[in-house]
Every structure is written in C-alpha cells, then in structure tokens.
Homo-oligomer: A and B are copies of this chain.
Amino acid sequence: MQNLTEQPITAADKTFFQLRKDIVEGVVLAGSKLSETELSTKYGVSRAVIREAINRLESCHIVERKANVGARVVSLSPEGLVDLYQVRESLEGMAARLAAQNMTDAEIADLNALLNVHSEDVKNHGSYYQEAGDVDFHYRIILGSKNNHLIAMLINGIYHLVRMYRVQLGMSGPRVSTAFDEHKHIVQAICNRDGELAEMLMRRHILYSKNNIQRKLTPQREA
C-alpha cells in the first residue's frame, strides 16, 4: 500500500516520506520536538532538506511549527480526534456521494473485486485487514470522487493523521468484520448509483470508527 502514484524523486521527497512514516508509526513519538540538526545527522541529509520535509509535514497538520522556536510532532488528544473525524466525515461522505456519481463501471467492478479479496483476508488472518485493506478501500472511494481538490486534501492532507491515530491507538478486534460489512453496503450503494445513501453510510461508518478509537483514548483514568 501507500504506492498511490507517490514516488519519491528528490532527497527531500524521500526524507519527507520516511519521516512521515516514522511519525505515523510512532517511531518518532507524538508531542516530541523535531530538532533540525539532529534529524539532519539521523537521516544523513542537509538541514535544508530536513526543513523542506518539516514544512510539508506542517501542511499535513502532522507537526506544528513556531517561528524561531522549532517544530513539534502534534499530540494525540480527544479534542483533536473529534475535530479530525468531523472533517473526515464531511469530506469522505462527500467523496462517497461523488464516487457513486463519477466512478466508471470498470472501477466499480474493481472495487467489488477488492472487497472479495478482503473477505478472504478477514476469514484467514483477520487483523491484517484493518491496516492495509481498510486504507486501500477508502483510497479507492476518494479517488473515485474525481474531485482533485478533495483527493489532494484527503490523501496528501488529513489521511496520514488519521492513520497516526489509528496505528498508535490501535483498533479493537470485533470491529473488523463489522467494518467489512459496512464497506460492503457502501459499495452496494455505489453500484446502484445511489449517492445519497452512499454518503450517509460512509458518514456512519466513519462515525463508528471514531467512537471505536475514542473508547481507547478517553478512559485514561488508570494511568
């Protein structure tokens, strides 16, 4: 996954992808400071390259920069999660509606095929599905919207932050098969070219997903 026409060309590209991956997967801790000199030795590139990578991460809302002070990785907070998922609900709901309207029959057939593969994955080794398959599913719907602004905002913008919450807070077991059923219903609505229903189902799907993560994030009384 993650090979969605995103091919690194320059050193800044590579560093950006690597650093983003390290942050999303928690190798670089949430809330930690990003020292330019430190990172430049760690990744073996000049500070200029690091600065460009950090600038790009800032526009994804993965890091926050203050002038003359430096950059920090964002902290994962319940408020941040709510804000993020509200936006995501709105944008991906819209993507589903547009996808029902704009995807070609061939693309919809492909999407159905993907679903069948996922069905096998869930039966065999259920947990892997969530990270790779779910992202792939959502990517296809987003691309199916054919709205370039929407695609850019979601894929280059907020999606990696979504992944950061999901990877670092984990997702519970029983929801895997439930989520798969929700995907099936969404695809069915798209097959029927029913944009309104697709949007509504996608919004609920994302809402459930948010509640699921929220349960992991909110009850931190035992800490």
CB<8 Å pairs between A and B, sample of 28: A9-B68, A13-B67, A48-B48, A51-B52, A52-B55, A55-B56, A56-B59, A61-B149, A61-B152, A80-B148, A80-B149, A83-B147, A83-B148, A83-B149, A83-B150, A86-B149, A87-B94, A87-B147, A87-B149, A87-B150, A87-B153, A90-B90, A90-B91, A90-B94, A91-B91, A149-B158, A153-B153, A153-B157
Check A207 for interface membership: any CB of B closer than 8 A: no
- Minimum Cβ distance to chain B for residue A152 (Å): 6
Contacts beyond the supplied A61-B152, A86-B149: 15 A-B pairs with Cβ under 8 Å: A10-B67, A13-B67, A48-B48, A51-B52, A52-B55, A55-B55, A80-B148, A80-B149, A83-B148, A83-B149, A83-B150, A84-B149, A86-B147, A90-B91, A149-B158
- Asked if residues A67 and B9 are in contact (CB atoms below 8 Å), the reply is yes
| Interface 0/1 of A72-105, CB less than 8 Å to B | 0000000010011011001100100010000000
Contacts of A48 in B (CB 8 A): 48
Nearest CB to that of A67 among chain B residues? Answer: B9
Scoring A residues 12 to 54 as 1 if CB is less than 8 Å from chain B, else 0, what string do you get?
0100000000000000000000000000000000001001100
Q: Which residues of A, 133-166, contact B by the 8 Å Cβ criterion?
A: 147-150, 152-153, 157-158
On chain B, the residues within 8 Å of A67 by CB distance are 9-10, 13
Give the 3 A-B CB pairs with smallest separation, nearest first. Answer: A59-B59, A9-B67, A83-B149
Q: In the complex, A56→B91 CA distance in Å?
A: 22
Q: For residue A13, which residues in chain B have a CB less than 8 angstroms away from its CB?
A: 67
Contacts of A59 in B (CB 8 A): 56, 59
CA distance A83 to B28 in the complex (A): 35
Given contacts A55-B52, A56-B59, A59-B56, A150 and B68 within 8 Å (CB-CB): no
